[in-house]
Amino acid sequence: MSVDPEMEGRNWSGRVLMYYLCLIGFFAIFSTTISKSPVLPLFVQSLGAGPALLGVIAAVSPLAGVLFSFPVGVLSDHLGRRRLLVISAFVFLIAPILYLFITDPVWLVPVRFFHGTATAILGPVVSAIIAERFPDSRGEKLGTYASATLVGRTLAPLAGGIIITAFLFAPGLLAYRMVYICAALSALPVFVLILRYREAEAGSLVLPGIGVYKESLATFVTNRRLRATAMADMASYFAYGVFETFLPLYLASLSFAAYQTGIIFAVQVLIIAGTKPVFGRLSDRIDRRIQIVTGLLVTGIAIAAVPVASTFPGFLAASALFGLGIAVSTVATSAYVADVAKQEQIGSSMGALSSIMDIGQSSGPLITGVVITLAGYAAGFSVSLLLAAVVTVIFVFSVRGTGQDTV
């Protein structure tokens, strides 16, 4: 694939740049997702690990996002976006190959953490590129990119399942290793496309001091608008983590067939992927704050309605409503953070938002699991609605007026 030298960096047309970024996002998320679902639990089990070690292995990849997304955002503000993207490209390419050499499940812990750093870098950096390049349509463009990654996330488990089934009777660990070979091949376009990307101005080669990190973090934490928006995103992904973790178990307890569960989730994914660009475009035309509040409340109501929906059509409706809520709110939060953040701190603000999002998605299943154990599914699903209601009140009071107020 060749690129016209006159279309490098900021001189690229918006369409060409979005085409590149969406391809990068699609293949990157496809590669990381196929490395996890459905192969990872099966691979871990075949290596002789128990549930406890599986839990640790599954948790370390999101942990990388929590720890690194904010520092990566700060670095991208100072070193330039491309340098960070190149680092992520190498990780995307190398990490899947490492799985091929693993015979002891303990080694999956550092490998999964290493692999998690790739998406921890890619997410906030690409979001910052889009927010800077498309100030008047950042909601629409962020939604388009999110949809591209969601398509990759949706197709990856299907492809992984087909590969495992095709090599079901192969000796040893060959079936799982074929999946990771596919993950490595899927990362090749990411590597090539990122190396072709150019930015108009390269950043400094000098690493920022600790004071820069402190200043960026203080700016984010003390800005009540940024803080409240991050809380809204956290609440949305808290509910998302609960939905994808416990809805299959709840449906199984009601004797729903696996294919019905698949259809219910497919409806949600299709709605999110199909409507994010639409709602992103809408957020460019209306007050994003209204959209965030609406989406957050719809998300909470939809997940709380799950125990009430006793029939297949009822669960389809709840899943569809949940998908709409997620699409409405999350596409507006990223754009609103870019609106509010200082121009020179867009990367760090996007990184902080990404870290807090990962905290929400990781803590949702943990907290809700305890509630379900103690009080049942109805109470567990209602936790997300309660959190959404509380965060909505905080958000409304925090984002009143205009400007970059600090508290």
Other beta carbons less than 10 A from residue 99's beta carbon: 24
Q: What is the CATH number of domain 1-195?
A: 1.20.1250.20
Give the integer Cα–Cα distance in Å for 359 and 362: 5
- What integer pLDDT is reported at residue 119 of this predicted model? 95
- What integer pLDDT is reported at residue 4 of this predicted model? 41
- The domains of the chain are located at 1-195, 223-398
Task: Extract the tokens encoding 8.
Answer: 């490098």
Share of the chain above pLDDT 70, in %: 94
Superfamily of domain 223-398: MFS general substrate transporter like domains (1.20.1250.20)
Helix 224-253 crosses helix 312-340 at what angle (to 10 degrees)?
160
- What integer pLDDT is reported at residue 248 of this predicted model? 81
Quick one: pLDDT band at residue 203, thresholds 50, 70, 90? low
Which three-class secondary structure state does DSSP give residue 366? helix
Which three-class secondary structure state does DSSP give residue 155? helix
Q: Is the dihedral of CA 204, 78, 18, 134 positive or negative?
A: negative
Answer whether 292's CB lies under 8 Å from 391's CB. Answer: no
> Is residue 184 scored above 80 in pLDDT?
yes
Helix (H) or strand (E) holding 185: helix 174-196
- What integer pLDDT is reported at residue 45 of this predicted model? 87
Give the integer Cα–Cα distance in Å for 240 and 360: 9
Residues in the chain: 407
> Is residue 10 scored above 60 in pLDDT?
no
Same fold, 1-195 and 223-398: yes
User: What global pTM score does this model have?
Assistant: 0.86
Closest of 392, 386, 372, 348 to residue 68, by C-alpha:
348
pLDDT in tens, 38-96: 888 889 989 988 877 887 888 788 889 999 999 999 898 888 899 999 999 999 999 99
> Is residue 202 scored above 80 in pLDDT?
no
Which amino acid would we find at residue 11?
Answer: N
Task: Extract the tokens encoding 136.
Answer: 């008047």
Q: What is the CA angle 114-359-217, rounded to 5?
A: 90
Distances (CA, A) of 236 to 71, 180, 277, 303, 370: 23, 31, 18, 11, 19
Quick one: pLDDT band at residue 215, thresholds 50, 70, 90? confident
- Mean pLDDT value of segment 386-404: 87
Give the integer Cα–Cα distance in Å for 85 and 121: 7
Quick one: pLDDT band at residue 136, thresholds 50, 70, 90? confident
Other beta carbons less than 10 A from residue 169's beta carbon: 8
> Is residue 405 scored above 70 in pLDDT?
no
Give the integer Cα–Cα distance in Å for 356 and 362: 10
Closest of 320, 287, 292 to residue 401, by C-alpha:
287
What mean pLDDT, rounded, does the chain reach?
Answer: 88
158-172, 226-240, 330-344, range with greatest mean pLDDT:
226-240
- What integer pLDDT is reported at residue 1 of this predicted model? 36
